[in-house]
Structure 1
Amino acid sequence: MSSSSRWPRSDSGSGSAGAEVAARATVSEARLVELTRAMIQRDTTNPPGDESPVVGLLTEVMAELGCQTEHFESEPRRASVLASAGDRDGSRPVLLINGHIDVVPARPQEWSVPPFAGVVKDGRVIGRGACDMKGGIAAAIEGLRACRDAGVRPAADIVFHLVADEETGGQHGTAALLRAGRIQADACVVPEPNELSIGVAERGALLAEIEVFGRAGHGSDPAAVRSAVYDAAAITRALHCADFGDPEHPMLGRPTCNVGVIRGGTAPNIVASQCDLSIDRRTLPGQTSSQVLDSVRDVIDSLGDIDYRMTPTVFVSGSEIATDHPFVSYLLDACGRAAATEVRGSMLSTDARFMRNDLRIPTVVYGPGSMRHAHTADESVGVDELCTAARAFATIFATFDGQSM
């Protein structure tokens, strides 16, 4: 290990006001933008799912920072990078940074620039994953580098889980680490795009396939038989944006349902014998898969005698942390020193749910960018937001000592 990658031997400056100011001041915009661009240029589209293009880059970056690094694979090419800065001897608290390195597919013809070029234009980094969430990961890494360069030893052991597969449910990433017993921390920050707010609550989701069955007949006499397309249309009207009678969550509102895909029929002159729907039913924290499935069935069954079969494909639980939790209060203060921030909820789901629901690790979402730009053509993140987030992470690493937990 080169001398440039060693941390200060003394931690006497850790946690002091001077240390955090020095760390914030050492954040480099150029270095941060270049790392964001470099990550975007490694195509990690999921599906099909292959995070290996960015693993070497991240391993090299984290090792240069003096971190112990390791690769975790649930199967070939589904790799996560685990990195830790600190002694990990149990003498200090552990702060986990969990961020996903996979991205959703991009259709180049819909973009004004190549989606994996990492173009910088008008103060924004443009590219698939710029916002969701390679920019957030780069900001957290830059925060750690700023501490190192300022001679500030973090007040806690810092662990990075840069994981595979969040975009399709996390089974090859955070969920696999959970099953393997590899997640231990006193607190966690997930740098998903959250407009630099402290995310404390998020919806979950149930994805399901609904097969609607009818009886085929001649298109000249549709009333003589049963059209699956007609019944599927009734289900679509009933489910789409339905009110399921759930109580209103103060930050998440009421759950929604989107009928996103319809496939049915064989020809215009044949009454359809089958029509299939794909739905996305959002949920609130605490709701179970069976409860949500029953709520969808109740709506469909209220329509009368429709022959259908519903098969759940993915269930993602909602999650939350109390707004008055000490870790939330700490982050409001720490991140607020970089820029004013607030507590909010999210209509989307993140890997924070694994730490909150399964391990009871206090977890918040804090990162640059907006979900309004995620998954879009010309996805982008502001350079100023990246720098603000990096300064916030530098403050967190310099000051979080777990004492308020």
Structure 2
Amino acid sequence: MNQAKETQSGQPQPRHVKMPIDTSRLLSALALWLGLLLPQSAGAEDVPSSGGDVIDMIKTLIRFDTTNAPGDTRPVAAYLKSVFDAADIPNETILAPNGQAAHFIARLKGNGHERPVLLAAHTDVVPVQRERWSVEPFAAVEKDGFIYGRGALDNKGSVAVYAQAILKLARDPSPRSRDVIFLAEADEEQGQYNTNWLADHYWDKIDAEFSLNEGGRTVLGSDGKVHELHVTYADKLTLNLKLRAHGPSGHSSRPIPITNSANGQLISALVKLQSYETAIQLSPEIRSYLDKTAALSSEPLASTIRRLLAANDEAAQLAAARDLIAKDPGGWGVEGLLRNTLVVTMLNAGQKPNVIPGDAEAVLNARLLPGVTVDNFIAEVRKVIGNPGIEIEIVSARPKSEIAGFYAMYSQMAPSNLHTALFSALQDSAGKTWPGVTVLPTLLVASTDATPWRRRGVPVYGIGAVPSDPVSASRIHGDDERVGIDALRQGETFFYGVLKTVTAPSPAKTP
């Protein structure tokens, strides 16, 4: 799961590497070429072409070091190609101009009476600090009922579960009313050749009636069962801001008043921002989510949520919100559901201990609620800082001429419609896989690569493809990331049920 996704334009023409099943010479040459590029942690001779079961697959995927940067996902694409070729499912790999970001697309054909359903998951992962891990991060170590490795939950577990569910569906002789598209993406964690780039150049290959992506939570209880399925219908907008302060420079033996120095001005601004509380904003959707959460919660959490929902003035609402945020039940980032958030993530000032720097910078990461405009939020930040001498700049990979248009589009992007055949299939399969489960539509406090579909009006539902306990969920992007073995099998069963339902021909459309 990344921090921001933005469409790129004006890029060099991509290379399209299409790999038909019946072109043996091309396959052989490509397999040899990619085999030379496989990391030592997973050589070509170690990759099972059949894919095995979901446990075999997740282990193989983890052993490919697809850390981004550089984000070389070619070995994963080659492996998935071998698996889907063995199942006679048409597929292709689209290689970005950088020669490393490889998007794998497979399409299980239906009868075409209804538009396709898309399952998307990314194959690149964030870096690791090896010295902080208790196991080798790319060895897929199995212990205590878990498989450890970078990407186990974010997001190679989803890749394995989706792939296995589609392979199982392919073995089912029942007719299918629609195609099932499987997209194993590149450059989700960072990089310009992400799904926005893919959609700009190859939209016809990933266009669908609706889609599944990462973002939600499938909560695994202490009893090993899933009682809550949180499905996201929208993402918060990610906004990175750079604050830059200027002041006189000089020798450290001649102090400059801290209020005049670049460091002093920046520190003052950051202290004000870190102590500032943005307004609590409860949309109808979040109110509904909290109301359902209260019904599932024990005391005193349930009473805290109800007190927030019942607050009839700003002071009472803020007090209840503070109480709920302090509890943060299950570590699910409740503060992000209630307000815009802003945190300091990077600092840069000075080159030597005995030199007072003339410039100081900080990067802040903001997550904005749907409907909040970037211009209004930056104006709010300026007012809190109260120092016109501090520059505020949007940090973006996009050309400056496109930044305003992109954020205007994002702030106006409608949430995904919950009244679709796919959402109904999610509810149906969840009830069969985990009897008594409660499905909770909610907002994702982070961001995903669902934007290219949502901006084109395609509903996208963020979902935790693999059930996870709170400890495992907390390790995403952290040390000793892990995924439960039984949880993987539950995820495969659940998504097979989803696909079975959503591709079943309806009587009205059956000839």
Query: TM-score category by the smaller chain?
Result: 0.7 to 0.9
Alignment correspondent of 1:189: 212
1:125 matches 2:144? no
Could you say if the C-alpha distance between residues 154 and 239 of structure 1 is closer, same or farther in structure 2, counting changes exceeding 3 Å?
A: farther
**Which of 25, 29, 37 in structure 1 is aligned with 2:59?**
37
**Which of 435, 442, 445 in structure 2 is aligned with 1:347?**
445
Alignment correspondent of 1:308: 391
1:236 matches 2:270? yes
CA positional deviation for 1:116: 0.6
**Which of 270, 274, 277 in structure 1 is aligned with 2:355?**
270
1:77 matches 2:77? no
Please tell me whether the aligned partners of residues 132 and 371 of structure 1 are also in contact (alpha carbons under 8 angstroms). no
- Distance in 2 (CA, whole Å) between partners of 1:98 and 1:260 is 29
Alignment correspondent of 2:232: 199
Please tell me whether the aligned partners of residues 243 and 363 of structure 2 are also in contact (alpha carbons under 8 angstroms). yes
CA positional deviation for 1:255: 1.4
**Secondary structure in structure 1 of the residue aligned to 2:234:** strand
Alignment correspondent of 1:65: 87
**Secondary structure in structure 2 of the residue aligned to 1:197:** strand
- Distance in 2 (CA, whole Å) between partners of 1:239 and 1:225 is 17
Please tell me whether the aligned partners of residues 126 and 381 of structure 1 are also in contact (alpha carbons under 8 angstroms). yes
**Secondary structure in structure 1 of the residue aligned to 2:265:** helix
**Secondary structure in structure 2 of the residue aligned to 1:159:** strand
- Larger displacement relative to structure 2 (241-250 or 328-337): 241-250
Please tell me whether the aligned partners of residues 242 and 257 of structure 1 are also in contact (alpha carbons under 8 angstroms). no
CA positional deviation for 1:380: 0.9
Please tell me whether the aligned partners of residues 93 and 157 of structure 1 are also in contact (alpha carbons under 8 angstroms). yes
Q: CA RMSD in A?
A: 2.8
Please tell me whether the aligned partners of residues 216 and 225 of structure 1 are also in contact (alpha carbons under 8 angstroms). no
**Which of 382, 405, 425 in structure 2 is aligned with 1:330?**
425
**Which of 129, 144, 165 in structure 2 is aligned with 1:143?**
165
CA positional deviation for 1:58: 0.9
Please tell me whether the aligned partners of residues 198 and 328 of structure 1 are also in contact (alpha carbons under 8 angstroms). no
**Secondary structure in structure 2 of the residue aligned to 1:335:** helix
Matches within 5 A, 1:250-269: 250=286, 252-269=337-354
1:378 matches 2:480? yes
CA positional deviation for 1:137: 1.2
**Secondary structure in structure 2 of the residue aligned to 1:207:** strand
CA positional deviation for 1:37: 0.7
Please tell me whether the aligned partners of residues 101 and 163 of structure 1 are also in contact (alpha carbons under 8 angstroms). yes
- Distance in 1 (CA, whole Å) between partners of 2:69 and 2:427 is 35
The amino acid that maps onto 1:85 is L
Please tell me whether the aligned partners of residues 244 and 295 of structure 1 are also in contact (alpha carbons under 8 angstroms). no
1:156 matches 2:254? no
Alignment correspondent of 1:174: 195
**Which of 132, 136, 143 in structure 2 is aligned with 1:114?**
136
Could you say if the C-alpha distance between residues 191 and 263 of structure 1 is closer, same or farther in structure 2, counting changes exceeding 3 Å?
A: closer
TM-score, structure 2 as length reference: 0.67
Please tell me whether the aligned partners of residues 239 and 296 of structure 1 are also in contact (alpha carbons under 8 angstroms). yes
Alignment correspondent of 2:368: 283
- Distance in 2 (CA, whole Å) between partners of 1:279 and 1:156 is 44
Please tell me whether the aligned partners of residues 205 and 282 of structure 1 are also in contact (alpha carbons under 8 angstroms). yes
The amino acid that maps onto 1:336 is G
CA positional deviation for 1:236: 1.4
Could you say if the C-alpha distance between residues 60 and 192 of structure 1 is closer, same or farther in structure 2, counting changes exceeding 3 Å?
A: farther
- Larger displacement relative to structure 2 (285-294 or 375-384): 285-294
The amino acid that maps onto 1:228 is A
Could you say if the C-alpha distance between residues 310 and 58 of structure 1 is closer, same or farther in structure 2, counting changes exceeding 3 Å?
A: same
The amino acid that maps onto 1:394 is Y
Deviations for 1:217-268, whole angstroms, at most 9, x for unmatched residues? Answer: 3433322882111111112112236434463342622111110111112344
Could you say if the C-alpha distance between residues 158 and 385 of structure 1 is closer, same or farther in structure 2, counting changes exceeding 3 Å?
A: same
Please tell me whether the aligned partners of residues 82 and 160 of structure 1 are also in contact (alpha carbons under 8 angstroms). yes
Could you say if the C-alpha distance between residues 242 and 328 of structure 1 is closer, same or farther in structure 2, counting changes exceeding 3 Å?
A: farther
The count of corresponding residues between Structure 1 and Structure 2 is: 373
- Distance in 1 (CA, whole Å) between partners of 2:429 and 2:258 is 69
- Distance in 2 (CA, whole Å) between partners of 1:371 and 1:215 is 47
**Secondary structure in structure 2 of the residue aligned to 1:391:** helix
CA positional deviation for 1:359: 1.4
Please tell me whether the aligned partners of residues 113 and 177 of structure 2 are also in contact (alpha carbons under 8 angstroms). no
Alignment correspondent of 1:391: 493
CA positional deviation for 1:111: 0.6
**Secondary structure in structure 2 of the residue aligned to 1:237:** helix
- Larger displacement relative to structure 2 (123-132 or 216-225): 216-225
- Distance in 2 (CA, whole Å) between partners of 1:224 and 1:107 is 36
The amino acid that maps onto 1:359 is R
CA positional deviation for 1:309: 4.3
- Larger displacement relative to structure 2 (78-87 or 238-247): 238-247
Could you say if the C-alpha distance between residues 99 and 142 of structure 1 is closer, same or farther in structure 2, counting changes exceeding 3 Å?
A: same
- Larger displacement relative to structure 2 (317-326 or 371-380): 317-326
Could you say if the C-alpha distance between residues 68 and 286 of structure 1 is closer, same or farther in structure 2, counting changes exceeding 3 Å?
A: farther
The amino acid that maps onto 2:378 is L
**Which of 209, 212, 217 in structure 1 is aligned with 2:242?**
209
Alignment correspondent of 1:15: none
Matches within 5 A, 1:357-372: 358-366=455-463, 367-368=465-466, 369=468, 371-372=473-474
CA positional deviation for 1:351: 1.4
